[in-house]
Amino acid sequence: MRRSLWLSIALGLALLGVRSASATDYWDLATDNDNGIGTDNELLNGTTQQHDLQVNGAVADQDWFVVVNYPRSSYEALVDSTSGDLNLFGAGAFSRLYATGTSVLQAAEYANPGGGTGYSEALRWVNAGTTIVEQFLRVQAPGCTTTCGPEDQYHIRFHETTVSVPRFNNASGQITVLIIQNGTGWPPARPIGGTAFFWDTAGALLGSSNFSIAPRGALVLNTSTVAGAAGVGGTITVAHDGGYGGLAIKSVALEPATGFSFDTPGTYKPD
């Protein structure tokens, strides 16, 4: 009896030490998996997921994600909490691709530009166009490749980073000043660039103004000088490549005749 008990314990321990041949990531376990452009895994604002890059048979795993880019909007995808064997810092480890899935549109940067190890990475971008665009994100491991196991995991999160300012007014004696601060401590070589779009209350585009702001710098823009925004009121959206929370924004409507001012903070879309 004792010998049988020890044999059972030994067998159990041996089984625990054997790496499973099938992926533990449920996106990979599905017949319709996430290993290419046929993925059904669409990221939405606030999506957060845990994945692994366990080898599929003898083939290195890739995780693909669908992202929808709305016109004149901006986005961030962040990969962090990576296990040591993944070595996600490397060419092609985390990329944004065209809808065909054959060409890389953007390679990731350090999640903390100018600092850190680079094993947490980020894609930050703007769709400045006028149409909805569907693209792909891809994660793969240049470190372990075909030796990656179920313990080789990472975390991905996705946000729309467009900032909304619900009021500006350059009519009836008021003038609105738009204030945008780059609150990051990133190196000077990594400013935040973007565009402020001005809309009437029906949602029609009135005009726009591009900007590039150095870390800890600020833009103070008299919106009445923007073509299309003089003598009218409406709303503002700001699309940028600074990531979620990278910019602090508000508009200040000034009424010189009375000395009154009206502050309107910019807001990010909540999770």
Q: What is the pLDDT of residues 63-76, one digit of tens each?
A: 999 999 999 999 99
> How far is 17 from 190, CA to CA, in rounded Å?
46
Listed residue (247, 51, 10) closest to 154, CA to CA = 51
Summarize the confidence of residues 159-170 as an average pLDDT: 98
Percent of all residues in the chain with a pLDDT value above 70, rounded to a whole number: 90
Dump pLDDT digits (tens) for 77-110.
999 999 888 877 667 899 999 999 999 999 999 9
> How far is 6 from 11, CA to CA, in rounded Å?
8
> How far is 137 from 34, CA to CA, in rounded Å?
11
Place of tokens 């003898």: 58
Strand partners, 127: 73
Tokens of 19: 């790496």
> How far is 25 from 146, CA to CA, in rounded Å?
16
Across all residues in the chain, what is the average pLDDT? 90
Place of tokens 């401590």: 185
pTM equals: 0.89
Check pLDDT > 60 for residue 8: no
> How far is 245 from 74, CA to CA, in rounded Å?
12
Provide the pLDDT confidence category of residue 17 given band limits of 50, 70 and 90: very low
Residues of the chain with CATH 2.60.120.380: 19-160
Could you please state the CATH topology (level 3) that the domain comprising 163-268 is classified under. Answer: Hypothetical Protein Tm1070; Chain: A (2.60.290)
Which pLDDT score, from 0 to 100, does residue 3 have? 45
Tell me how far CA of residue 38 lies from CA of 6, 44, 77, 136, 161, in angstroms.
48, 17, 20, 10, 26
Strand partners, 198: 207, 236
Kind of pairing between the strands at 233-240 and 163-169: antiparallel
Summarize the confidence of residues 172-178 as an average pLDDT: 96
Which pLDDT score, from 0 to 100, does residue 57 have? 85
Which pLDDT score, from 0 to 100, does residue 20 have? 44
Which pLDDT score, from 0 to 100, does residue 16 have? 45
> How far is 244 from 134, CA to CA, in rounded Å?
20
SS3 66: strand
Dump pLDDT digits (tens) for 220-263.
999 999 999 999 999 999 999 999 999 999 999 998 888 889 99
Residues of the chain with CATH 2.60.290: 163-268
Summarize the confidence of residues 34-49 as an average pLDDT: 96
C-alpha 197: how far from chain center? 20
Provide the pLDDT confidence category of residue 201 given band limits of 50, 70 and 90: very high
More confident residue, 58 or 192: 192
Q: Which residues of 41-70 are buried (b: 16+ CB within 10 A; e: fewer)?
A: bebeeebeeebbbbbbeeebbbbbbbbebe
Between 2.40.110.10, 2.60.120.380, 2.140.10.30, 3.30.450.20, what CATH number should domain 19-160 receive? 2.60.120.380
Check pLDDT > 50 for residue 202: yes
> How far is 14 from 25, CA to CA, in rounded Å?
23
> How far is 22 from 246, CA to CA, in rounded Å?
40
Check pLDDT > 70 for residue 59: yes
